[in-house]
């Protein structure tokens, strides 16, 4: 069974109604990135950051996977699929994808401020206990914080993701600007012989190491076209 690897970004979840950060009207225009998505911002004002992600978590409960998420999951019938996502939502999992690598953390999880990547400190939040409160402690006694990889922090799953990309038979990129590093650097690990498909309705300034096929559509329509193309191979 061929190994099909997806790298997904904010455009993947935009069709579900989740606000992107970089587009016009996106979250970066409402909240400075350094205030809510950096370790320095958290250290300066943890309550602001915790409340920001509490809001994002409430929003997540009100949306559902789009057709694109569902089609990615459906590819598991014919391929060995791994999804590498820059998104912190759980829409890939809710759509049925079984192998998902989250590069930037997971919104529905919380962890220790002292040791955020220690597995024993990571807890899954539930709709009944959705918000993190100031003063709420992890088991190591430090403030419970969102399980998010912020700017200024290492990306613990990056090496695992690079290894997965390096073994891809087909590599598909959906809805990412390819200008956020180190995640964008994953494209360099794709084998030279692996065909690459880029699904994005906009022009993406990407100097690929070798040729790629740009499907200029959104996530759902783009996945439908990709499935047609792969079925003829």
Q: Could you tell me if 88 and 196 lie in one domain?
A: yes
Q: Could you tell me if 232 and 121 lie in one domain?
A: no
- C-alpha 214/C-alpha 178 separation (Å) is 13
Number of domains in the chain: 2
Q: Could you tell me if 50 and 162 lie in one domain?
A: no
Q: Could you tell me if 178 and 122 lie in one domain?
A: no
Q: Could you tell me if 49 and 159 lie in one domain?
A: no
Q: Could you tell me if 199 and 121 lie in one domain?
A: no
pLDDT at 21: 52
Q: Could you tell me if 24 and 135 lie in one domain?
A: yes
Distance of CA 164 to the CA centre of its chain: 15
Residue 129's CB is within 10 A of a number of other CB atoms, namely 12
Q: Could you tell me if 83 and 143 lie in one domain?
A: no
Q: Could you tell me if 89 and 192 lie in one domain?
A: yes
Q: Could you tell me if 4 and 58 lie in one domain?
A: no
What's the CATH code of the domain at 181? Answer: 3.40.50.1220
**3-state DSSP: the chain helix, strand, coil percent, rounded to 5?**
35, 20, 45
Q: Could you tell me if 179 and 209 lie in one domain?
A: yes
104 counts as catalytic:
yes
Lowest mean pLDDT among 21-25, 99-103, 198-202, 227-231: 21-25
Q: Could you tell me if 100 and 121 lie in one domain?
A: no
Give the residue from 88, 120, 148 where a domain finishes.
148
Which structural domain, as residue segments, surrounds residue 37?
19-62+110-148
Using CB atoms within 10 Å of the CB of residue 35, give its burial: 0 to 12 exposed, 13 to 18 middle, 19+ buried: middle
- C-alpha 88/C-alpha 105 separation (Å) is 6
- Picking from 213, 175, 171, the residue whose alpha carbon sits closest to that of residue 190 is 171
**What is the biggest distance separating any 2 CA atoms in the chain, rounded to whole angstroms?**
57
What's the CATH code of the domain at 132? Answer: 3.30.1600.10
Q: Is the pLDDT of residue 183 over 80?
A: no
pLDDT digits (tens, 9 = 90+) for 119-167: 999 999 999 999 999 999 999 999 999 999 999 999 999 999 999 999 9
Is the pTM of the predicted complex or chain greater than 0.95? Answer: no
In angstroms, the Cα distances linking 77 to 74, 101, 155 are 6, 19, 30
pLDDT at 172: 96
- pLDDT mean over 73-80: 97
Active-site option among 69, 104, 210, 214: 104
């Amino acid at each position: 069974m061929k190994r099909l690897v997806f790298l997904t970004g904010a455009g993947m979840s935009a069709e579900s109604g989740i606000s992107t950060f970089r587009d016009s009207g996106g979250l970066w225009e409402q909240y400075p990135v350094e205030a809510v998505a950096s370790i320095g911002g958290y250290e300066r004002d943890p309550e602001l950051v915790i409340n920001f992600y509490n809001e994002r978590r409430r929003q997540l409960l009100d949306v559902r996977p789009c057709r694109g998420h569902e089609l990615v999951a459906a590819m598991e019938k014919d391929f060995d699929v791994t999804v590498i996502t820059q998104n912190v939502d759980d829409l890939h999992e809710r759509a049925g994808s079984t192998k998902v690598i989250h590069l930037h953390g997971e919104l529905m999880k919380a962890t220790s401020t002292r040791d955020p990547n220690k597995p024993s400190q990571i807890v899954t939040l539930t709709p009944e206990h959705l918000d993190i409160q100031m003063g709420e402690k992890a088991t190591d006694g430090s403030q419970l914080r969102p399980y998010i990889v912020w700017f200024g922090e290492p990306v613990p799953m990056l090496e695992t993701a690079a290894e997965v990309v390096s073994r891809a038979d087909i590599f598909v990129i959906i809805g990412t600007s390819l200008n956020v590093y180190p995640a964008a650097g994953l494209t360099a690990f794709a084998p030279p012989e692996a065909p690459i498909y880029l699904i994005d309705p906009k022009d993406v300034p990407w100097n690929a190491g070798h040729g790629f096929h740009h499907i200029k559509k959104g996530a759902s329509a783009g996945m439908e076209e990709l499935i047609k193309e792969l079925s003829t191979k």
